[in-house]
Amino acid sequence: MNFELKNLSWEACEQTICDVLILLVPASSKPAKPTKANDVPTKSVKSLPALKRLMLAALEQDDLDTSAGKLLSCYRSTGIAARQVILVGAGQANEKDVARACAAAFAACKIPGAVKSAHVMLCLAQINGLSGASLQAAMQAAAASSYVYTHTKPKAEARKLQLVSINLGSQAQVQAMSPELQQGRALIEGVELAKEWGNRPANHATPTLLAKAAQAIAAGKSPVSCEILGPKEVAKLKMGSFMAVAQGSEQPLRFIVLRYFGAAKTVQPTVLVGKGITFDTGGISIKPAAEMDEMKFDMCGAASVLGVFKALSVLKPKINVVGLIPSCENMPSHNAVKPGDVVTSMSGQTIEILNTDAEGRLILCDALTYAERFKPAAVVDIATLTGACVVALGAVRSGLFSADDDLAAQLLRAGEASQDLAWRMPLDDDYAEGLKTNFADVANVAGRMGGAITAAKFLQRFASQYPWAHLDIAGTAWKSGAAKGSTGRPVPLLMKFLLNFEQKQAVAGKKSARSAA
Ligand code: BES
Ligand code: MN
Ligand code: ZN
């Protein structure tokens, strides 16, 4: 699908032939209560453009609520070329309200069966001082509403929405928003790649296939490079913890290394580590049958790293990023690791595996040790790590764990700006008490209480050599029920976080150039 920015008059907007015209109406559009003095004479109202007249009439009659996401749909409105017109309240017109308004409006778009490539005109011209974040929120909503999964459902109707024209308030705004548009496009590519791999069933998304997906991102003229390690290389690295999880499956493990170096080689990279369990049965500590299919989503952390690298390959920002994905299945078998087994991680720490279903931390800990070789500025791991995090935060915010206040603040801010929210959780050392054991340096599980935090405390032991943060996306990476499917989160948060680095470096560069002059 494509997006274009326009600066159209009311007349040109309403005369554009398209399937749906969506007009965002912020609360500030509400005219002051008419008094005799400022009452608009009927004649001049009649001479107003049809779309504006429709909006003003709907506001005046209180038929349009300007709270974010409230809809008023019209069909074949006089003087308007679009078949369907949707007026939608945009509240305070911040990124949150714009996102909500666009999600509601795009969901209400009626595209008849005969239309194969729908064109929507999205009018944001009523929003004063539209931010880049709001523009991108609108684009994300359009993309999310029209995404179709087809890989194992080839007869599903393909995406209908092909073009979204976004009408802005001025030509200057069109100019100013053009880089934001580019970013928005790249972000959508990244989110959709993450969704695609998240959604694929485990037999269509094995560790080997995930590695091929990474190689595809690095193929051709891509600025991304990719290295794949298999069982032999991983054994040589002494990743005993990762290998223990993989040993129960027929599918060979893969350790994926992605590199994107858009800045000088001397700039320390940010390392992203994504949990890539392509299916989590729980292993010998097997899970109950109900909803076990959803454990195909246990590689959504890995998918988000792939999504970020896809977006980087499109945008080519001046930053350095390394992506690490340990990937395997967690299966019960005669070869599988058993409760009580003790393994030696790459860090040298021994781990007693008391529960084979706490496998995510076992593959991540070796990847965190591997990350040390990049001398990273920061490491962020992303994992569908604990059911406890779903209990704590539900599907709204991802769990954020970091002992580094600055890094935590940057990630939280990136989440707010991209409407891909996170919430900081504690890391007090007292939470690690339960990980003590008589038989190894550390156990892989503590008690039932505070499960998301004890998991993070386990990981923290392996991340002592750099600033580190952990995102538990167990509640946010996919939706259950009728809308079952991957969300592509937290690709928007991660991209915003990484791109903020570029901005900071640009500002620092200018400052040092000025002080040198
Ligand atoms: N992949 C799961 C976490 C998960 C469970 C995410 C349900 C989303 C929904 C993880 O590997 C796991 O099984 N965690 C266990 C840890 C426990 C054994 C300490 C859990 O959360 O139950
Ligand atoms: Mn598990
Ligand atoms: Zn898991």
Structure tokens belonging to residue 393: 């935060």
- Average model confidence (pLDDT) for the chain? 96
C-alpha 113, offset from chain centre = 30
Q: What distance in Å separates the CA atoms of residue 435 and residue 484, rounded to the nearest whole number?
A: 34
- The pLDDT assigned to 32 comes to 76
Nearest CA to ligand 1 atom 3: 386
Which distant-in-sequence residues (6+ apart) come within 8 Å of 282 by Cβ?
Answer: 330, 332, 356, 357
Going by CA atoms, what residue is nearest to atom 8 of ligand 1? 474
How far apart are the CA of 366 and the centre of ligand 2, in A?
17
Q: How far apart are CA 213 and CA 177, in angstroms?
A: 32
Residues with CB under 6 A from ligand 1: 280, 298, 355, 357-360, 384-388, 390, 445, 451, 474
Q: Round to whole Å and give the CA distance between 60 and 39.
A: 11
Distance between CA 116 and CA 48 in Å, rounded?
A: 34
pLDDT of residue 109: 93
Judge contact between 122 and 142, C-beta under 8 A: yes
**For 112, which DSSP code?**
-
Rounded-to-integer distance, Cα 459 and Cα 221, Å: 36
Contact 135, 160 (CB under 8 A): no
The single-letter code of the amino acid at 95 is E
pTM: 0.96
Residues with catalytic roles: 287, 361
Question: The tokens of 494 are what?
Answer: 């991660």
Q: What CA–CA distance (Å, rounded) separates 234 from 254?
A: 8
Nearest atom in ligand 1 to the alpha carbon of residue 386 is 21
Identify which ligand lies nearest to the alpha carbon of 392: 1
At residue 41, the pLDDT reads 52
CA atoms within 13 A on the CB side of 253: 27
The 3-state DSSP composition of the chain as helix, strand, coil percent (nearest 5) reads: 40, 20, 40
Whether the link from the prior residue into 490 is cis, omega within 30° of 0, is yes
pLDDT at position 37, please?
56
Q: For 150-177, write each residue's pLDDT tens digit.
A: 999 999 989 999 999 999 999 999 999 9
Whether the pLDDT of residue 504 is over 90: the answer is no
The tens digit of pLDDT for each residue in 181-195 reads 999 999 999 999 999
Query: Which pLDDT band holds residue 511 (cuts at 50, 70, 90)?
Result: confident
Region 2-33+46-173: CATH code: 3.40.220.10
Same fold, 2-33+46-173 and 196-506: no
From the alpha carbon of 448, which atom of ligand 1 is closest? 19
Hey, which residues does 269 pair with through a beta bridge? none
Of the residues 245, 284, 357, which should be mutated to test ligand 1's pocket, given the most ligand atoms within 8 Å of the CB? 357
Which residues lie below 8 Å from residue 295, measured CB to CB, with a gap of 6+?
A: 202, 277, 279, 280, 281, 287
Distance (Å) from CA 454 to ligand 2 centroid: 14
The type of residue at 347 is S
Helix 95-108 vs helix 132-146: crossing angle, to nearest 10: 30
pLDDT digits (tens, 9 = 90+) for 223-259: 999 999 999 999 999 999 999 999 999 999 999 999 9
First to last CA, the chain: 46
Model confidence at 30, in pLDDT bands (50, 70, 90)?
A: confident
> What phi and psi, each to the nearest 5 degrees, are found at residue 465?
-95, 5
The yes-or-no verdict on residue 44 having pLDDT over 70 is no
Ligand 1 centroid to residue 418 C-alpha, Å: 27
Atom of ligand 1 nearest to the CA of 277: 1
Residues 196-506, CATH architecture: 3-Layer(aba) Sandwich (3.40)
- Ligand with the closest atom to the CA of 472: 1
C-alpha span between 508 and 492 (Å, rounded):
24
Residue 387 CA, ligand 1 centroid: distance in Å? 5
Q: Ligand 1, residue 385: give the atom nearest the CA.
A: 3
Count other C-beta atoms under 10 Å from residue 453's C-beta: 24
Domain boundaries, the chain: 2-33+46-173, 196-506
**Token pair in block for residue 166:** 């976004």
Give me the pLDDT at residue 31, please. 80
- pLDDT confidence band for 35 (50 / 70 / 90): low
Q: The tokens 């995404």 sit on which residue?
A: 147
Atom of ligand 1 nearest to the CA of 451: 19
The identity of residue 6, as a single letter, is K
Contact of 55 with 87, CB cutoff 8 Å: yes
* pLDDT over 90 at 517, yes or no: no
Q: 3-state class of 164 per DSSP?
A: strand
Return the amino acid letter for 218: A
Distances (CA, A) of 214 to 220, 237, 253, 321: 13, 21, 14, 14
Q: Are 329 and 249 in contact (CB under 8 A)?
A: yes
- Report the nearest atom of ligand 1 relative to the CA of 282: 13
pLDDT tens, residue by residue, 370-402 = 999 999 999 999 999 999 999 999 999 999 999
Q: Tell me how far the alpha carbon of residue 285 lies from the centroid of ligand 1, in angstroms.
A: 11
Per-residue pLDDT at 507: 79
Helix (H, G, I), strand (E, B) or coil at 320: strand
Sign of the C-alpha dihedral computed for residues 68, 72, 78 and 80 taken in this order: positive
- Measure the CA–CA gap between 357 and 353, rounded to whole angstroms: 9
Tens digits of per-residue pLDDT, 58-113?
Answer: 999 999 999 999 999 999 999 999 999 999 999 999 999 999 999 999 999 988 88
Average of per-residue pLDDT across 144-153 = 96
- Please give the radius of gyration of the chain, using alpha carbons only, rounded to the nearest integer: 25
**515 C-alpha vs ligand 1 centroid, how far in Å?**
52
Nearest ligand to the CA of 328 is 3
Report CA(385)–ligand 1 centroid distance (Å). Answer: 6
Ligand 1, from 298, 331, 386: best to mutate by most atoms within 8 Å of Cβ?
386
Write the residue with the smallest CA distance to atom 22 of ligand 1: 387
Q: What is the pLDDT of residue 40?
A: 55
| 135 closest CA partner among 87, 170, 102 | 102
Ligand 1 atom 13, closest CA: 357
* Ligand number nearest to the C-alpha of 455: 1
Choice between 215 and 501, residue whose per-residue pLDDT is larger: 215
Interval 444-493: pLDDT, tens: 999 999 999 999 999 999 999 999 999 999 999 999 999 999 999 999 99
pLDDT band at 36 (very low <50, low <70, confident <90, very high): low
